[in-house]
């Protein structure tokens, strides 16, 4: 019962801290903001490193929580299809690289999990309403090789989102 209460409190806090006041999501055709974040292996990855490549950034509230695990596994299981389509996958949260490393290892994620601990990218794209937000909003972006947004996802179903993004990748 104590765990259930803690889980309920976590989801209530996520709802309060991630919905109001967030910046507008960049729209399709808009340049995606430049960014540089550390991944769960300690490597810094930036948008400039990805110039000429398509990628998806899926923001998730908290490592090792039920919805985030479901979404992460869906991207993991779809990873070969994303590779075939030439699209790189990146998960983004406010978790530390060490927390993300535990999550990636526990679930066998073959793609990087990025730590936006300062919430700078999250603030720029509407995944956080303030630099003190407790959790990222569950949103995603499909970004083209030109650095422009192909599609912004403001409403994400953890179990079906990877398939949705795959369906939106241009030929």
- Verify whether residue 68 is a known catalytic residue: yes
What letter does residue 104 receive in the DSSP assignment?
Answer: H
Closest C-alpha among 86, 90, 79, 88 to residue 140: 90
Site of tokens 């998960």: 91
- Spell out the residues 6+ positions from residue 4 whose beta carbon is closer than 8 angstroms to its own: none
Q: Which of these is catalytic: 68, 101, 125, 133? A: 68
SS3 content of the chain, % helix, strand, coil (to 5): 40, 20, 40
Catalytic sites, residue numbers: 68
């Amino acid at each position: 019962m104590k765990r259930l209460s803690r889980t309920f409190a976590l989801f209530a806090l996520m709802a309060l801290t991630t919905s109001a006041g967030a910046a507008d999501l960049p729209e399709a055709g808009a340049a995606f903001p430049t960014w540089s974040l550390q991944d769960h292996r300690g490597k810094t990855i930036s948008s400039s490193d990805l110039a000429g490549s398509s990628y998806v950034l899926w923001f998730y509230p908290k490592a090792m929580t039920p919805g985030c695990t479901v979404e992460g596994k869906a991207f993991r299981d779809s990873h070969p299809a994303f590779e075939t389509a030439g699209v790189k996958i990146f998960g983004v949260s406010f978790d530390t690289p060490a927390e993300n490393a535990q999550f990636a290892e526990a679930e066998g994620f073959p793609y990087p999990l990025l730590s936006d601990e300062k919430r700078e990218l999250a603030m720029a794209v509407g995944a956080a309403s303030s630099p003190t937000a407790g959790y990222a909003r569950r949103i995603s972006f499909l970004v083209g090789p030109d650095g422009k947004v192909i599609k912004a996802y403001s409403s994400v179903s953890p179990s079906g989102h990877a398939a949705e993004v795959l369906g939106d990748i241009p030929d």
